[in-house]
A and B are shown apart, each in its own frame.
Chain A
Amino acid sequence: MSVLADTRVVVPEVKASRGYWASVGMRLIRDPVAMVALGVILLIVLAAILAPYVAPADPYRGSMLRRLRPIGFPGYPLGGDELGRDMLTRLIYGGRLSLFIGVMPVLLAFCIGSGIGVFAGYIGGRVNTIVMRVIDVFFAFPSVLLAIALSGALGAGVLNSIVSLTIVFVPQIARVAEAVTTQIRTRDYVEAARVSGANAFTIVRVHVLGNVLGPVFVYATSLISVSMILASGLSFLGLGVKPPEPEWGLMLNTLRTAIYTQPMVAALPGAMIFLTSISFNLFSDGLRSAMEVKQ
């Protein structure tokens, strides 16, 4: 084991190198809360996708004789709604639209918002100020109000809901993206890249994006829960999905009056919104912890 006093480096054997996302994944797997949340999400998503095979009944077929049955009534495992349709089926099918309207806007806003944020953050200076102050104007509105106002202007419907929610979320994501990009822009390795003669586009592509999109993605996942609640809210107010489509928010609206006769059944859609939204939240927290470690 004698070592020469020269400039060579002697290194003990080290386990195989792991990329950043691989180590994040490994840390995430060891987080029980995040894993349970992920499990719940996957369950709900799978159920929604495989709805025709999983749901026991037809979501549209009702029976006026069998309105508002309680939970556990034979043939209606989770009860029946105000038009006699099976709640379990409606909830499973409702997941489709609720998830779609909840997740799509965040996805779109992630793409658009990151683009704006990274651009403004990297350019800096006056362009940055102008872009960010315009963003701030939208940011000044409370999200619920803005969503309602936009939906009202655009009209009801799934597509319009998605558009208005996307517009609500773009400023928030753009802000986070801009903040992180501004931070990264001054890092030594970006300066070193500039010193190597790379142009702005290459630097952004190779050095900035990889380091910015991670935190922004985590932030975006935390917005999914908010988005789902807003989407349900819009449907509740009649600005989103139209009946008889099953969608949790809409179901909350139509079951409103049943709250005195069948409170448990009336609360079910709300419970689903809560469950899904908190699962996304907890998973997003777990992801953030897994990403934060070390550096």
Chain B
Amino acid sequence: MGDSDTLVDVRQLTVDFGPARKPVRAVDGVDLSLKKGETVALLGESGSGKSVTLRTLLRLHPKSARTGGTVAVDGRDVLAMSAAELAAYRGRTVSMIFQDPGLAFDPVYRVGDQIAEAVKRHDGVSLAEGRKRALELFERVRIPSPERRLDNYPHEMSGGMRQRAMIALALACRPKVLLADEPTTALDATVQIQVLLLIRELQRELGLGVIFVTHDIGVAVEVADRIAVMYGGRIVEMGSCATVIRKPAHPYTRGLLTSRAGHAAQKGSRLVAIPGAPPDLANLPPGCAFAPRCPEVADGCLQTVPAPVPLDTGHFACCFRVSASSAPKELRRAIA
């Protein structure tokens, strides 16, 4: 199924948490695919299900979580893997970087040793070989004075450098897919742009597939080829980066773009805010999850969950109010 270029193929993924009698559906029927050398951004706010979707690819959920659907990475069924297969798969085929680099590093060991250890475990080479590779990686992620930094402990490095070291660790075993869970959210602006450019560059050089979770539209624009907008555990719109940003079809996407402070018409005017608050996953309305906040809501919206409506090539939106015939209006842009 699919060409050999497809690295990730997720079909109808559902993830439930909590007690069986009152489950909370964090992810509800997500279809996602990723090709080699492509970056897909999962854009959404709290409760959108973007992080849960990401973590499912590495099966990072507690045992009490119940998953449904199929998740195929590099042709293999992730949900059916045994513990041993998972251990070999994590880090080797798929790797992840987090918002908090502290999550990836053990504070009592030197950074270089940790990377060397990972290489040794996965590739079966000696520790010395591992260290050589760690040095290569540090150079690749542009850490200044790499030999010295290999001997640093995590707390001795600044935030931006720790993030680069975490990227190095993630790439240590030459994975095919890199998962990024809001890696730049906690970084200063000047450091954030450096890390984003680094990720873009590494992806080009290594031919990685990248799935990048973020809540910041600007970040998504900088890294993504395609953007999937998520709301209430579902993908509500997906398309190429340019299409979603310039011709958003789903009212939520339009709302996100027009409510940005950078989009405001002029000083003194008010922002066009989306009313209400992000949904409570334990109490989703029966139909479209966005209906309670939607400016274009109609009667049918609260009855059934809208199916994807194809708009352009590779562009679709899950909304009853859009159709292929009425092309989505281009967004007026005042201040970029």
Question: Do chains A and B make direct contact within the complex (CB under 8 angstroms)?
Answer: yes
Of B60-68, B123-131, B292-300, B305-313, the one with at least 4 CB within 8 A of chain A = B292-300
Return the CB mask of A1-17 against B: 1 if under 8 Å, else 0.
11111111110100000
Residue in A closest to B296 when the chains form the complex, CB atoms: A2
List, in ascending order, chain A residues with CB within 8 A of B302's CB: 1
A4 to B294 Cα, complex, angstroms = 10
Most buried by A among B275, B277, B283, B297: B275
Size of chain A's interface in residues, with CB distance under 8 A?
A: 11
Interface on chain A toward B: helix, strand, loop, or mixed SS? Answer: loop
Cβ contact within 8 Å between A1 and B292: yes
A8 to B275 Cα, complex, angstroms = 8
Write 5 A-B pairs (CB below 8 A) sorted by A numbering: A3-B293, A3-B295, A4-B275, A9-B277, A10-B275
Query: In this assembly, does B276 line the interface, its C-beta being within 8 Å of a C-beta of chain A?
Result: yes
List, in ascending order, chain B residues with CB within 8 A of A3's CB: 275-276, 292-293, 295
Min CB distance A148 to B, Å, is 39
Min CB distance B277 to A, Å, is 7
Cβ contact within 8 Å between B292 and A5: no
A3 to B291 Cα, complex, angstroms = 10
Within 8 A of A (CB), among B51-80: none
List, in ascending order, chain B residues with CB within 8 A of A5's CB: 272-275, 295
Give chain A's interface residues, CB within 8 Å of chain B. Answer: 1-10, 12
Interface size class of B (residues with CB under 8 A): 10 to 19
Min CB distance A294 to B, Å, is 14
List, in ascending order, chain A residues with CB within 8 A of B295's CB: 2-3, 5
List, in ascending order, chain B residues with CB within 8 A of A10's CB: 275-276, 292
Cβ contact within 8 Å between A12 and B283: yes
Cβ contact within 8 Å between B275 and A6: yes
Cβ contact within 8 Å between B297 and A2: yes
Min CB distance B251 to A, Å, is 12
Min CB distance B147 to A, Å, is 39
Q: A1-B302, A5-B273 are in contact. List 11 more A-B contacts (CB 8 A).
A: A1-B291, A1-B292, A1-B297, A3-B276, A3-B293, A5-B272, A5-B275, A8-B275, A9-B276, A9-B277, A10-B292
Min CB distance B229 to A, Å, is 20
Return the CB mask of B281-293 against A: 1 if under 8 Å, else 0.
0010000000111
Most buried by B among A2, A5, A9: A5
List, in ascending order, chain A residues with CB within 8 A of B297's CB: 1-2
List, in ascending order, chain B residues with CB within 8 A of A8's CB: 275
A207 to B80 Cα, complex, angstroms = 51
Residue in B closest to A7 when the chains form the complex, CB atoms: B273
Residue in A closest to B277 when the chains form the complex, CB atoms: A9
List, in ascending order, chain A residues with CB within 8 A of B292's CB: 1, 3, 10
A9 to B275 Cα, complex, angstroms = 7
Min CB distance B227 to A, Å, is 24
Min CB distance A119 to B, Å, is 33
